[in-house]
Amino acid sequence: MHFVAPTLACLSLLVGGSNGALDVDFSSKDSIKQAAKLVAADLMSFYKGDQPGMLPGMLPGPASTTGQRDLYFWWQSGAMWGTMIDYWHYTGDDTYNDKVIFGLQGQSGENHDFNPGNWSLQMGNDDQAFWGMASLGAAETKFKDPPAKDPQWLALTQAVWNEQQKRLTTGFEKDCNGGLHWQVFPGNQGYDYKNTISNGAFFNMGARLAMYTDNKTYAEIATQSWDWLQGVGFVDKDWNVYDGANTGPDTQTGKERNCTNINPLQYSYNAAVVLQGAAVMYKYTKDDIWKTRVENLTKRTLEFFFPNGTAYEPTCEHALCTMDATSFKGYLHRWLGYAVQMVPSIKDTAFPILTSSAKAAVKTCTGGPNGRMCGFRWSTGAFDGEVGAGQQMNVLGALSVLLMEDAPPLVTNSTGGTSQGNPNAGAKDRNPTELRDITQGDKVGAGFVTLFLLLAGIGCYLWMDF
């Protein structure tokens, strides 16, 4: 696809956008596309991975030596490519597609599993999953396939899922009755934390792999993963989605915590990742229990994360959000929009709020050196002085998803999908079509954040109590 040429109605936006604030006519699809194009260009200005001496596929990072909050963790680069795939899918603008392919392939790793050697010793299950969800998005949207000699989108995600499924069945995940740890390796700081994003992303990938491949084993294990998330209390009876819980011994009593003291912080991407997965499960199974779950999750997500119709990150927005959290609103918009496409019954409540939130978002796009970089605190209606890739991903996701009605439908391998899979990818001894019967020990589960996000969030939570 190629980007639609601007109409006369959009020329004022192009002129105004080049000189300053982002001005969008939300009654015009062309105007939304043109605004998204400007935001995409500003987002990609942060990427240097295709320049000599820089790491392919990577935003600058991961640790700042300058004191500036402008450097990024490895997972955020995968999140950016997922954002750019959605941007292409919704707008048709293929300007950055070659960069997306180069970026995803550049970090696919020696074993084609998004676990490259330069990052593997610090790997989190959530980190790996963000790249896996991006490549799965490429398969679902019929994004351009890589050359046959290179790892394919579907196979890359299958490798991530297979490896994480294997981690759940090798004896390392017995505490809390199952569930993935945040970190892959027991020696890493944070290993004793099981969180929603790692397990929610595993659930999400399983649901989407089931729909794409029509392999029911993925769906069965995704169901077990959902059951674990609810059973351990990360998704409660009121449809709040909490961050996670510790597994190791309490520092005062010495007793194993075993996920009994749940971290009550709520982040929008946790709710969104399980909502998207549940929506896919309904689309795939046609089971009304999933529809009920989607509708309840949607209701609570809109109540909690969209006060006054504008996306808000309550755990940190009143203080200083970490670099991680500055990108969460983009996933919230994108994954809620995806859910709307899977479960039309939530459209009448969700889509108007996605629209009102996007309108609030663009009002913050008045900063930076070009006068149109976007801020993070959308409810203020003004630029908040912080510029970053996360802020741009947020607004790009919010704008792009408003074009869902005119975008090509998502595909599966039976409805036009072309991405080649490998059910044995990653974990060589694991083939979803040959798995033994699922037992209680196969339950899947829990979490995501980085240590910085966890500590910052807890600090904010305590601050709110004073």
Q: Return the axis-axis angle of helices 74-91 and 125-140, rounded to nearest 10°.
A: 20
Lowest mean per-residue pLDDT among 18-32, 189-203, 380-394 = 18-32
Q: How high is the pLDDT of residue 171?
A: 60
Q: Would 112 be classed as within a structural domain?
A: yes
Q: Would 1 be classed as within a structural domain?
A: no
Is the pLDDT at 165 greater than 90? The verdict is yes
User: Mean of the pLDDT values across residues 47-53?
Assistant: 93
Contacts of 191 (CB under 8 A, 6+ apart): 181, 182, 183, 185
Q: How high is the pLDDT of residue 295?
A: 98
Q: Would 2 be classed as within a structural domain?
A: no
Please report which confidence band the pLDDT of residue 172 belongs to, taking 50, 70 and 90 as the band edges.
low
Total of domains in the chain: 1
Model confidence over 244-288: pLDDT tens digits? Answer: 999 988 877 878 889 999 999 999 999 999 999 999 999 999 999
Model confidence over 330-343: pLDDT tens digits? Answer: 999 999 999 999 99
Is the pLDDT at 3 greater than 70? The verdict is no
User: Mean of the pLDDT values across residues 96-121?
Assistant: 95
Is the pLDDT at 298 greater than 80? The verdict is yes
Cβ atoms < 10 Å from Cβ of 465:
5
Q: Would 3 be classed as within a structural domain?
A: no
Please report which confidence band the pLDDT of residue 109 belongs to, taking 50, 70 and 90 as the band edges.
very high
Question: Are the CB atoms for 263 and 244 separated by under 8 Å?
Answer: yes
Question: Are the CB atoms for 284 and 210 separated by under 8 Å?
Answer: yes
Lowest mean per-residue pLDDT among 140-149, 154-163, 217-226, 450-459 = 450-459
Question: Are the CB atoms for 39 and 374 separated by under 8 Å?
Answer: yes
> Does residue 186 have a cis bond before it (omega within 30 degrees)?
no
**Which CATH number do you get for residue 382?**
1.50.10.20
**More confident call, 436 vs 127:** 127
Model confidence over 332-371: pLDDT tens digits? Answer: 999 999 999 999 999 999 999 999 999 999 999 999 999 9
Domain that holds residue 160: 8-465
Q: Would 81 be classed as within a structural domain?
A: yes
Lowest mean per-residue pLDDT among 15-24, 64-73, 209-218, 347-356 = 64-73
Closest CA to 111 of 160, 40, 149, 76: 160
Q: Would 232 be classed as within a structural domain?
A: yes
Model confidence over 312-330: pLDDT tens digits? Answer: 999 999 887 888 999 999 9
Distance CA 323, CA 390 (A): 7
Chain-centre distance of CA 309, in angstroms? 21
Q: Return the axis-axis angle of helices 196-213 and 125-140, rounded to nearest 10°.
A: 30
Average pLDDT score over the chain: 87
